[in-house]
Chains A and B, each alone.
Chain A
Amino acid sequence: MSRWQSGFRRGGAAASADIPLLDVDRLTVRVGSTVPVRQLELDVAEGEAVALLGLGHTGKAAILDCIGGLRTASSGSVRLDGHRLKRSFTAATFWLVLTSGLLIGLLTAAAAVDVDSLWLAVVKRGLAVDEPFTPATFASRLRSYFRAELAIDPLADHWRIVTADGRAVLAVRRELDEARELRNQLQAAVTARRIGPATVPDLSDLVGDANEPRRLLPLDAATLDRLAAGKRSVRLRGWTALGGGMLLGIAMAVAIWQQGRRSPEVAARGGVARTFRQPRIFPALTAEENVLVAAEQAAAASGWRHWWSRGAADRTAELLAFVGLDSRRQQLAVDLSFADRRRLELARALAIGPRLLLVDEPEAGLTAAEQQSLADLLTAVRQQQVTLLLTASTAGPLTAICDRMIPLDR
């Protein structure tokens, strides 16, 4: 059996001697209408090996699932080194939440202020009158849109004076200068109307828009009032949508973060590895890739320096030799025998450099000889200061390697 080093890189030894590595406190798990785990108390010290013995499988698997982050307990807590295995709210999380809120807010605001008309007002109109596109003109056009000021749009060889969103036409002029003058005159009337009751200017000489009579606004007091109210309404819509969208986006991001707080990957990064009763290998990857994919994750989590080191590949080779799958490393995992799959899953679990290894019913489906050799492997794992928590239905060679056996009363 070749040598292999446990590679846990964070934290090192337990913080202090009186805190157990794993502390399960009043754990209760509900599965549908049954309660397979009720008020479980369990302490496992660093370097210890503990077997959970019981007849049913659901309860034992549920305990391991809770520790490994695959299942949320109904009540009670699981602590590793005195810490709950939960993702913490970091500065990066804060900025991510804020950014997604802002993004959603901007999207809803864009919809509320009619981004299409905004584009027309800011980009297209400047081009129509050959205005250079600079930050200053951009800002002034943006301001003018949010003030709901009247604007000038081209129409074949005419110019028409339109509302800021370009949807309604007030008048049409042949010359640009004429149109500009009239637009200023009309805008002055609208502004005056906004401040107090202003009279409707006499514009009886206006040319109508013969092309689209539907869009032509009558120039009366009611129209002026509507135009005067436009500024408030577009700003109100924009700010409301921005605020509402931001709140919605922040709430969504927090909800996503909250749901992912306790997850298997958080537990794995905290140093908890897991194998299953029915080995869950990646069937279409080779034996080597099965282990490599886990080793690479551990290497990536430990920092950018591992990007170009061959650490993950070396570690994979070591582990495959350790579990005795050296000669099968190029075989697809699906082609391995059941016993070999179990060994491969063990190698993959060890590849993340665990402090705590959860092994679910390792004896299931193995012959007596295979059980014995797996027990030898796990003994070697224990010698690398990896704490073991395994489940079994009956005592056997695999529970014999443990320091303690805890019968689960049902």
Chain B
Amino acid sequence: MTAGKLHLSGLLRWLARRWEVPTFGLLALAPWALADAFGGIGGPLTSVLILCIAALGLNVVVGLAGLLHLGIAAFMGIGGLLLAILTVPTNPLEIGFLPALVISILITAAVGSLLAAATLRLRSDSLAVVTLGFGEVVRALLGNLEQITGGMQGLSSVPPPGAGLTLAGIDLGRAFVVDPRWFYFLALACLVAVVLFLRGLERSAVGRGWIAFREDPVAAATVGISTTQVRLSAFAIAAAITGLAGCLSAANLGTTGDPHSYGFGRSVAVLCAVILGGLGSLPGILLGVGILFGLDIVVIPAADAWLQQLQPAASAAGPLTVGSWRLALVGLALIAMMRFRPEGLLPSRRLLTELRESHR
């Protein structure tokens, strides 16, 4: 009995340290484990992975540097738009996916640091308002610059990542179109790369500087940490990671889509996922996105399909769906969460201490 308990706690401790091994292992096996369902579940799961990347980007600003940012979805829009401008056949550039990805990410990072430069003197709530405004301006521009962005329809026919390439006799462009698993693995690889990058960053001088700035900006400045550099670098890296998510999303859907999907609603949903999972904690954020968006994108459509089968004859009021109760369910879950576990599902050790400190 005791031995079993020891075993379990040892396993849990191992999981806390090496959570990425089982997590990514399971995600890599998902296409085979769910082989039958994959046709239906592959695309949605890919979207969840892409949103995980966006949430990790937001976490750099909010979780590590402690700056409230309410316009993160705008960077997804900018990244996706740039990729589309560089690759779609209705524009003359039509460069390959990889160079387009790199250029888009770099420009998005530059836009991020521009936003940071414009908000250098702003703190908490005023910064939140300005970032919110920035997000709405970007959304409005995406909708109104019709020649450049395609207006409300967005730029469509973004080619798949492998277009024009062949690998070991496989036409990659075709492979990405025919089999959604290709894109799933591409998104998973990007997610793993981002997680490893952020891990390294958190343990580097830059990441420690961000955390010190979040803990006490005044003390951080007295040891020589440049407030300007912290803000510029945090915003730029967050924008770059979110821009990557936007590029992947545009390439996955084949279009940049309706600008409203890069508006305030998306920004807040990503922020909710980050808070739900636990600010500053990488596994927490993946779990938060998995729950919030997984519910939205994967579980609810499946549940609706199941309900549809149960009630073949729809009543006059229309069929009962979980989808129509979606927002109420999410809202209740968030309220319950903030009441019983304000630090998030899998909080980082650091944040836990901060909460403890502030309640003293």
Contact = CB atoms under 8 A, between A and B. Distances in A.
Interface in A366-382: none
B148 A119 contact: yes
A-B CB proximity, top 3 nearest? A133-B92, A268-B224, A294-B223
B120 interface: yes
Given A282-B219, A289-B208, A292-B208, A256 B92 contact: no
A300 B205 CA distance: 9
Given A256-B117, A260-B228, A348-B223, A127 B92 contact: yes
A116 B208 contact: no
Interface in B166-222: 205, 208-209, 211-212, 215-216, 218-222
A394 interface: no
Given A260-B228, A284-B215, A334-B353, A293 B92 contact: no
15 contacts: A119-B145, A123-B92, A133-B92, A264-B218, A267-B222, A280-B219, A280-B222, A283-B354, A285-B208, A293-B220, A297-B223, A298-B224, A301-B224, A349-B222, A352-B223
Contacts, number: 122
B225 A293 contact: yes
Given A68-B222, A265-B225, A280-B219, 10 more contacts: A70-B221, A103-B114, A116-B146, A256-B121, A263-B221, A273-B222, A280-B216, A281-B216, A284-B349, A297-B224
A399 interface: no
A256 B227 CA distance: 12
Given A265-B226, A296-B205, A349-B223, A70 B218 contact: yes
A124 B222 CA distance: 54
B354 A284 contact: yes
Contacts of B212: 282, 285, 293
A289 B212 CA distance: 9
Interface of B: 90-93, 114, 117, 120-121, 144-148, 205, 208-209, 211-212, 215-216, 218-228, 349-351, 353-354, 356-357
A228 interface: no
Contacts of A332: 349, 353
A147 B209 CA distance: 52
Count class of interface residues, chain A: 35 or more
Nearest to A290: B212
A123 B155 CA distance: 14
Contact of B208 (A68, A117, A273, A296): A296
A133 B91 CA distance: 10
A282 B222 CA distance: 12
Nearest to B211: A285
B141 to A, nearest CB: 9
Interface string A345-358: 00011011000000
Given A116-B147, A293-B208, A297-B205, A282 B216 contact: yes
Nearest to A348: B223
Contact of B147 (A124, A264, A269): A124
Nearest to B227: A265
A158 to B, nearest CB: 19
Contacts of B225: 265, 293, 297
A268 B209 contact: no
Given A282-B215, A296-B208, A259 B121 contact: yes
